[in-house]
Every structure is written in structure tokens, then in C-alpha cells.
Structure 1
Amino acid sequence: MLEKLTDIFKNSSIQDIYLVGFVDIEDGIANFYPDMRFYYFEIGEQFLELESMDQYSKLSVNIVDSIRYKFEIDEDMQPCKTSVNQIVLTDSMSTKNTVKSIIIYGLEVSNREQIICDSIQLNLNNGQELFIDPSFYFGINIGGAEQRMFWVENLAYGTKVSETIIEI
């Protein structure tokens, strides 16, 4: 999986970032309810699926061909996605939204199907750092160095987390 991840980032830039959820229409007004356990990074022809799991303590990373809606909703609700590209990326139109390096914190599993870890950081060629924190109260929070510092401060006292660094 680490090889596949490296190959994807070598060949393409981050084109979009999606948050999934559902729409519920009540009294003629549509309300979007995000499921912050899931984010999808569109990279070339594929998606990097990020899922907060184990009661928001671990991050599952998968490479998938399309966005998946892995939650239950009522039949009158519609699954949907929204782009958060312009909120997350400093310059969403930049051609330099390519990944320079990846830091995987607390790598537990890396098999053909997925990576399971404590968190992951993508360092972009434009200088932006994307720290993906699965321990946010309602799922995943994506931020920069400040988010990483917040995550480290919330680790149990004395906890040492291994780092796996991948240069692209």
C-alpha cells in the first residue's frame, strides 16, 4: 500500500477534497449533514479515502476508484458530497498541490488494501502542510502545524509515536 500511495502522488496532484454526508429536505429546505468520519482526496483517476475509526483514535487510509457512502440513512435522505478544496488548500488552483512527502504517525498496518495509523501528514510542494487528525470530536479534522501540535498535546503523557517518512 505504501508503494501504491507513493505512485499515486508521484503521478498526480491533489485535484479536490470532498466531505461526504447526506441531505435531508424538511419544509422545502435542504440541509447538509456531513459525516466527518470520511474525507476523500481526488488524485488523478483515484481517491484517497480517509476514515476515522476505533472511536476516533485511528485513521484508515485506502485507495478507491470512487467515493463511497459507508453510512446508513433513511430512505427520504440523499447521500451527497461537497468540495472543501477551497477551505483546506491555501491555493486550490495551484499546480503545486503536489505531495512532496508523507509522514505517517503510529503506522500499525500497511497491507495491500489499507494503511491504519494514528494520523498522517501531507507536505505539499507549495509549502503547505496538511495534518489529518482522526481524533477530532466528530471525526477527522484537517489543519496545519497548529493541528499537529494540538494532536501531540492530547496524546497520553509519555506516549511516543513512531514516524514513517516517505519522500515522493
Structure 2
Amino acid sequence: MSQLDQIISLIKSSPLTDIITVGFIDHDNDIDVKMFNIIQTELYLEFEPYFIRCSSINQYDKLKMEVVDKIVFDFKIEEGDEYCISSISDMYLFDPYGTNEITSIEFLLDQEIDIDEGVFKCVQLNIGSKDKIFLDPTHTFGIKINGKSSFIEWIDNKIAQPNYSSYSKLVWDKINNKSVINRLFPEG
């Protein structure tokens, strides 16, 4: 089963229960306070009991998504520091303790994307009728999370740049339980 199929299968069967960042606690700083340092290239979407690991890859050019059964710390830290996680769903969900069912998901594609491997340009998750979570891997420091209208703004910004790519959008819709690919605009 491809990563795309695994992602859609998980989203169909479970609501989003948390958004988790990974990082480390730095004990070696100049102040007497422990400092949490986020690794912004990694983000986890929790759909109990599994997660969708989101990673900014190819020098912040693409978003890799894969279904995993646990959070992985595959970055190095200094001796004395500690790995840790932090929930950030309160900052991005309208009702973080409610049932946050994904009603549709939009994957932006270009010619270099491998959807079977779970690699996309960016992704927007539509949650019920109130929430949208847009994952942008092209941010300077890693994955940027935005809300409504970010998907359209991202595309508009890319069109304004010289030598923009041709994009397509793959949309999975829970109501119809199907995926459709639409070409957004021709090559520049």
C-alpha cells in the first residue's frame, strides 16, 4: 500500500487528536531555565493510535508525509540535553478537545512529486466546517502551519515568481470517499 493510501486510510478511520512538535530541552544555556528548542522540520499529526509524520525535505522544498506508530527522534542533541515533545493543537484547532474529523485533504503536486512515497509540495487538511490546517514545508526554518486561505495565497505567491512550475491539486473528499486530480494552471 502506498504512503498516500495509508494516509487516506488513517484519516478516514480516525479523527485528528493532536498536533505535536518535537525538539529537545537545552540544559547548557546561560540562564538557569530549561529551554525547549523545536525542530521545525518535523511535525506529527496524531490520529490515535498512529501518527502522520510530516517532514520538510529537499532543502525545504517538499513535504514528506508517512504513517508511523510512534514519534521518532532521529536528530542529534548534545550530551546532557533531553528529547521532548510539545502539543500545539490548542494554537491551531478551533476545538482541540472536540472530534476533529478531516473532511477533505488537498495535496499540491508538481512534476517532481512522488505521491506513492507521500511526497508533496504542500498540504491542507480541512477539518469539519471551521478549521483548515495548511502545512508549508518551504518556510525558512521548516514547516509553517497556517489556517484559512493559506493554500490559495501560497499558489498565488508561487505564480508571481519567475520560472514557476505547473501545479496540480489532488483532493480527497470524505463525503464522496474519492480522490480527484485537477490541473491548476499550465507551465509558466
TM-score by length of 1: 0.91
Give the distance between the partners of 2:39 and 2:62, measured in 1 at CA. 16
Matched, 1:75 2:79: yes
Establish whether residue 161 from structure 1 lines up as the match of residue 163 from structure 2. Answer: no
What SS does the aligned partner of 1:72 have? coil
Tell me whether 1:134 sits opposite 2:140 in the alignment.
Answer: no
1:4 equivalenced with 2:6 (yes/no): yes
Greater relative contact order (CA < 8 Å, ≥ 6 in sequence): 1
Residues 150-159 or 78-87, more deviating: 150-159
Alignment partners' CA distance in 1, 2:22 and 2:170: 28
1:39-54 pair list within 5 angstroms: 39-54=43-58
Unmatched 5+ residue regions in structure 1? none
Q: Is this contact kept in 1: 2:66–2:118, CA < 8 A?
A: yes
Q: Could you tell which deviates more after superposition, 82-91 or 26-35?
A: 26-35
Matched residues, percent identical? 28
Maintained 8 Å contact 2:22/2:42: yes
1:19 match: 21
Show CA shifts across 1:124-143 (max 9, x none): 11331111100111100111
Computed over aligned residues only, the root mean square deviation of the Cα atoms, in angstroms, reads: 1.6
Question: How many pairs were matched up?
Answer: 165
1:13-162 to structure 2, matched below 5 A, reads: 13-25=15-27, 26=29, 27-95=31-99, 97-106=100-109, 108-111=113-116, 114-155=117-158, 156-157=161-162, 158-162=164-168
- Structure whose CA Rg is larger: 2
Q: Which runs of 5 or more residues in structure 2 are unaligned?
A: 175-188
**Distance in 1 (alpha carbons) for counterparts of 2:157 and 2:149:** 12
The residue that corresponds to 2:181 in the other structure is: none
Higher strand share goes to which structure? Answer: 1
